[in-house]
Structures are given as structure tokens and as C-alpha cells.
Amino acid sequence: MKDFLRVLKRFVPPYKRFLALNVVFNLLSAILNLFSFALIIPILNLLFKTDHTLYTFLPWHWAPMDAEFWKQLPALLKNNFFAYISELMVTQGGSFTLVMLGVFLIVMTFLKTSATYLASFFMIPLRTGVVRDIRNQINRKITQLSLSFFSEERKGDIIARISGDVNEIEASVMSSLDMFFKNPILICVYLIGMFVISWQLTLFVLVLLPVAGYLIGRVGRSLKRKSLLGQNQLGYLMSQIEETLSGLRIIKAFNAEKKIIRRFEESNETFRRTTNRIYRRQQMAHPMSEFLGTATIAVVLWYGGSLILGNSSPIDASTFIYYLVIFYSIINPAKDLTKAGYAIQKGLASMVRIDKILKAETDITSPAHPKPIRLEHEIAYRGVWFRYADDWVLRDVNLIVPKGKTVALVGQSGSGKSSLVDLLPRFYDLTKGSITIDGLDIREAALQDLRGLMGNVNQEAILFNDTFFNNIAFGVEQATQEEVERAARIANAHDFIMATEHGYQTNIGDRGGKLSGGQRQRISIARAVLKNPPILILDEATSALDTESERLVQDALERLMSGRTAIVIAHRLSTIRNADEICVMHEGQIVERGRHEELIRLGGYYKHLCDMQSF
């Protein structure tokens, strides 16, 4: 219950107006229901002629501040209602009185059902709004978290939380809100009515209810534990599907279909068994609550009936039947409340998984009072140390990148090249040392301002399932057609774009799947051209291309780098022969630096790399 209330406290306040209206109409529905049931008493008395009391109208005056008035009000209303029924029977006859009671019952039922509908009507914006807000918060949090968070999480599991877990919250917690706020009100109103009719019988009933509540609660707690396990297993399944989709080419190339199928089916069977246990416990809620409710009614019927038969009951037979009707009416909201409790437990298990994202600490943040940043002179790495876990990836790196110059980083895989450039836009924060731009530590600038200085072209072009225009204009507000076309021409992309069916409005498919590698890379370069950043980061931008595509992309890159500060990670050494400085990295350190000719003459690591590529 505490966990559920904490969820409500987090997400419901913006919709408290709808919640208040829901409570008001639920209360009105319960009161109208109670009064409509009261018609049972005069109908029974009329049919079986059991009430021989002579009722006369008693005068009364509205006095809301008088305690005695409220104490006498129920008896006064009952007396005058029966007086009216008695007069109607005398003047119009029994048949007409039954018709009038039936009409009154229909009117009361119409009012009650209208109030019930309005209660649900005002709950719907709350349910849908909370789910929308949760999705928005997850999406916002994903964009704010550092890359290190996602290196430790399965991508498919994160997708499962956004889809499956949020859907589970909508299907369980949010769909149970109406029942959760409606049923306690019904139960409370009915209990008050039962106390008014016979407090002795009601106390006897209340002795029996805690036993039923304890039995139901035990099953609910076990359901939450199983649901959390089930959601984790579903996340693992989604991760396997994501990996299969991403690696389908390799799976087929290595004839590993059977292995992948077997791994998935084993995990899927484990998830099925867990789900079976969850559903069996969930389905136990309805029969358990119905059995316990019926058993309680049987006990009350025996106890109250014994009192009436022994002429020691404070109420007559027709009122006792009315009492039983009210008590039986508690069973349905109690069952619904129990079902809502089970569903909420299941949804809270999903909330635990979602909170792993929402409550994750964002370790890469802007300072409280950021300083303005711009590049006028140089970028400086001074005594930079960095590690992802235990082993040092970078060790005491010192590097100066003057404005307008191109610095190339070369070295074997795992030497620290990508880690070094990832520190500049603060995708990760260094462990020791400093990185400055014109003497200002990059951690003192706002993240948006820092990254606004930079344009990235990576080895794998990151494109979106959208049009050419929107992919090139990505991250640039209100780009014009002319600006996008100019950027595409500089990137040698305009001709193949115009050769497509709809030109710049052609959709390029998932991750640019309709394009070749060289075309995808040129779109990525056009995006960087349009942004027009003072600093360029090129991470092996031509390493995966054929010779013809490489020539076109390299030509586009040279146009892009003209007059800009560039840090280039090079796989093909032929592409960085004209760099102002080449830094050779080995095991997290810069072991050689200089121009191409100087490093060749040095005869060290760089010459060895060149010889290997020539070979």
C-alpha cells in the first residue's frame, strides 16, 4: 500500500481535480445506491403485510449546526417516508403504491448509474495522463543519462521497460485507480448504513473480516515478487530479439540459427512458467474473495436469523433482509478491491523496473552556474587519466589542438583513441587531469553550449527513419531547403538524393537501410556541414567504405574540415597524410607525434602501421 501511495504522490498531483470529481461522484453513487436498496423494506412490508405500525408525518426544521438534529434525522426521514407510503396505500391502493415504488426505484437507479459513469468519466484523463507522463519522463531521462549507463544495460531490456512495463502499469495500476477510489467509498458508505441499521450485527461482521483480509494479503505479496521476476525475464527476451535483429547477417553467415532459436525458446519457456504462476495467483483473487464473502454472509444469516427467530433482534425481518442486501453489496466492491490489489502489486513490480531508469543518477551534468565557452585559441588535454572500470584506458595524456588545425589519432584497436575524443563533448568525464578550451575547463560550461561547438561524423553513420531533409537538418532549428541543399552539395550527396523518388522528402528507412554505406556517410557529413561547428570530431569516417565511396567521402570531409579545428581518428592512414599533427597511441598513451614524413623517418610505431597497411 505504501508503494502504491508513493506512486500516486509522484504522478497524480497534476490531475487532482479529476481525482476529486471522481471521489465526489463515487460518493454520490454509493449514497444513491444505499437509498435505492431501502425501497426493499416497504415493498416487503407491502407484499407480506408484516408492518402494522401507524405512521404519521412529523415536522422537522433544517438545523445543520445542531448535533441533536443529525442524531434524529435518520429516524425522522424513515418515519416520514413510511408515513407517505401508508397514506398512498390508503388513498390509492396497494397496486398503485407498488408502481410508484418501482418508478422511484428506476429514477434512483438512473441517478446512481449516471453518477457511476461520471466518476469513471473523470478518471479516464487521470489514467491516460499519468501513463503519458511516465513515458515522457522515461524518454527524457534516457536522453539525459550518460553513455556509461547504457553500456551496463541491455538495449532490449530498456525497450521492454518503455513498452511492456509501462503497458503493465497502464493495465494494472492505472486501470485499478477507479476501482481503488470507488470501492473503499462504497464499502465505507455501506458499513455506515449497516451500523445505522444494527451496530450489534455490524460489529459481529467486522470480527470476521480481518481474517479474510489477512489471507488475501498474503497472496498479493507473493504476486509482486513473481511479477518482478517475470518482467525481468521479459526484458531478457526482448534483449535477445534485439540482438537477433541486429546480428541477423552474422547468425546466417555462421549457420547459428538453431543455436539462437534454442536459446530464445529456453528463455521463453522459463518466462512462460513464471507467467503461469503469476496468472494462477492472480486468478485466485476472485474465487477466494467470493468464497470468504459467502461464508461470512452465511455466518451473519445464521446469527441474525437466530436473533429474529428468538424475538431478541433489535430489527424486524424486512429490515434484516435490507441489511443482508447491503452486506451482500459489499462483496462485489470487496472483490473488485481485491482484484485491484492484485493488479496493483503486479504493476508495482513494473514500477520497480521503470524506476531503475527514472531514478538513475545522471553523472554528466551542467554546472549550477555555467561559464560561456568558445574556441579562439586551442583545445588542451593536460594530464588526462580515464578508466571505465578498473583498468586505465588513458594514462597521463597531454595534447594541444590549435584552432584551425587538424590532429589525427592513430593506433591499434583498444589504444584509447575513441575514449580520448569521447571525453571532449563529455560523453564521459575524465578520472584525473583536465580538458580545457581556451583555458576554460569543459566541466565549467553548460553541456549544451559545449556540444554546440562540435560536429561528429562516426564510423557508423547514425541516421533515423525519416526523410533526407530531416536527417540532414537534425539538431538544427528551422533549416531552410536552400541551406540543406547547400550542405548536401558540399557533402557530395545532392545528386543521389535528387535521383530518389521524392528527393529530399524521400524516407531513407530504418537506420538508413535503403542507402549504401558511402551514401549514409555523406548524409552524416551533410548534417555536420549544416551545423557549421567550429570543432569537428571524425571517428574513422571512411574505414568501412569501398574505394569509390571513400574518394567521394574523403573529398566531402576535406571540404568540411577546411578552416575548422578537427580531431580525426584514422583507420586508413592514407586519409591523414596531410594532418597538421599525427599522434600515435599505444596502451592509453601518446607514444609518437609529428607530421607524416617525420614519423616515417622516426621508424617507430607509425612506420610499422604504415608498413602493415602497405603490405
Distance CA 585, CA 575 (A): 17
Residue 548 binned pLDDT confidence (cut-offs 50, 70, 90): low
| pLDDT tens digits for range 575-593 | 777 888 999 998 889 999 9
- Between the alpha carbon of residue 344 and those of residues 5, 291, 292, 337, 487, the distances in Å are 11, 22, 21, 10, 53
Mean pLDDT computed over 510-515: 77
Query: Does the pLDDT at position 382 exceed 70?
Result: yes
Residue 24 binned pLDDT confidence (cut-offs 50, 70, 90): very high
CB 226 within 8 A of CB 281: yes
Q: Which residue has the higher pLDDT, 176 or 212?
A: 176
Query: Does the pLDDT at position 60 exceed 60?
Result: yes
Distance CA 328, CA 409 (A): 79
Q: How many CB atoms lie within 10 A of CB 104?
A: 14
Distance CA 322, CA 318 (A): 6
Residue 175 binned pLDDT confidence (cut-offs 50, 70, 90): low
> For residue 436, what pLDDT is reported?
93
Distance CA 509, CA 541 (A): 21
Return the closest-CA partner of residue 373 out of 294, 288, 445.
445
Residue pointed to by grid coordinates 501513463 = 131
Distance CA 480, CA 124 (A): 41
Average pLDDT in the chain: 79
Distance CA 163, CA 353 (A): 12
Element (H, E) at 280: helix 257-283
pTM, full prediction: 0.67
553, three cell numbers = 567521402
CATH code linked to domain 378-614:
3.40.50.300
Distance CA 393, CA 413 (A): 12
CB 428 within 8 A of CB 146: yes
Query: Does the pLDDT at position 390 exceed 90?
Result: no
Q: 2-220+283-358: CATH homologous superfamily? A: ABC transporter type 1, transmembrane domain (1.20.1560.10)
CB 184 within 8 A of CB 336: no
Distance CA 393, CA 385 (A): 8
Q: How many CB atoms lie within 10 A of CB 3?
A: 15
Residues contacting 242, CB < 8 A, separation 6+: 154, 155, 156, 159
Q: Which residue has the higher pLDDT, 285 or 84?
A: 84
* Amino acid residing at 481: Q
Query: Does the pLDDT at position 119 exceed 70?
Result: yes
Residue 114 binned pLDDT confidence (cut-offs 50, 70, 90): very high
- Between the alpha carbon of residue 481 and those of residues 344, 477, 531, the distances in Å are 51, 12, 14
> For residue 433, what pLDDT is reported?
92
The fraction of the chain above a pLDDT of 90, given in percent, is 8
| pLDDT tens digits for range 264-294 | 888 888 888 888 887 777 677 667 766 776 7
CB 103 within 8 A of CB 323: no
> For residue 528, what pLDDT is reported?
83
Reading across the β-sheet that carries 454-457, which strands appear in turn? Answer: 454-457, 535-539, 565-569, 406-411, 581-586, 589-594
Domain ranges of the chain: 2-220+283-358, 378-614
